[in-house]
């Protein structure tokens, strides 16, 4: 498992948890709000109303965040096919990129002269 896959799994896991929490918060929040409004004259009703508002607001904030993170996680899994594990260099970039053996500058496909130091290649 490479770092991209680890990040992707982490993001999707967190975002699914956030979406589930957000939806649960919204549902319980609205239930508490309704219950609180119908019993507003009692202390328990006011407490329900306050918790209902807090849960509903938390749900409304968490839901778009969860969806955003899920989107990033899914985008990472979509690129998995084109970024193979063996193709990821330790310092970033791709390992199949040719480098100038004199100065280390990356050479573009078909380039026969180093753009940095001018060294010629076959």
114 part of the interface to Zn ion, by CB under 5 A: yes
Name the residue among 79, 46, 77, 60 with its Cα closest to residue 18.
60
Residues 42-101 that bind Zn ion (CB under 5 A): 100
Residue 18: how many other CB atoms lie within 10 Å: 20
Contacting range for Zn ion; rule: CB under 5 A; set: 9-17, 37-45, 90-98, 111-119: 111-119
**Cβ(40)–Cβ(46) under 8 Å?**
yes
Contacting range for Zn ion; rule: CB under 5 A; set: 10-18, 38-46, 50-58, 113-121: 113-121
Residue 3: how many other CB atoms lie within 10 Å: 9
Q: Which of 95, 116, 120, 121 binds Zn ion (CB under 5 A)?
A: 116
The CB-of-108 to Zn ion minimum distance in angstroms stands at 12
Under DSSP, the state recorded for 94 is B
77 or 119: CB nearest Zn ion: 119
End-to-end CA distance of the chain: 37
Residue 108 CA, chain-centre distance (Å), reads 31
88 or 119: CB nearest Zn ion: 119
Summarize as ranges the residues that interact with Zn ion (CB under 5 A).
100, 102-103, 105, 114, 116-117, 119
């Amino acid at each position: 498992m490479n770092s991209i896959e680890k990040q992707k799994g982490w993001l999707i896991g967190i975002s699914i948890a956030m979406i589930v929490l957000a939806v649960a918060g919204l549902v319980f929040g609205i239930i508490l709000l309704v219950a609180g409004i119908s019993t507003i004259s009692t202390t328990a009703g006011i407490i329900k109303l306050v918790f209902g508002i807090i849960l509903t607001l938390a749900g409304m904030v968490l839901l778009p965040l969860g969806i955003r993170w899920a989107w990033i996680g899914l985008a990472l899994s979509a690129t998995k096919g084109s970024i193979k594990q063996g193709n990821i260099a330790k310092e970033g970039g791709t390992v199949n990129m040719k480098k100038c053996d004199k100065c280390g500058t990356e050479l573009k496909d078909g380039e026969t002269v180093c753009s940095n130091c001018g060294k010629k290649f076959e």
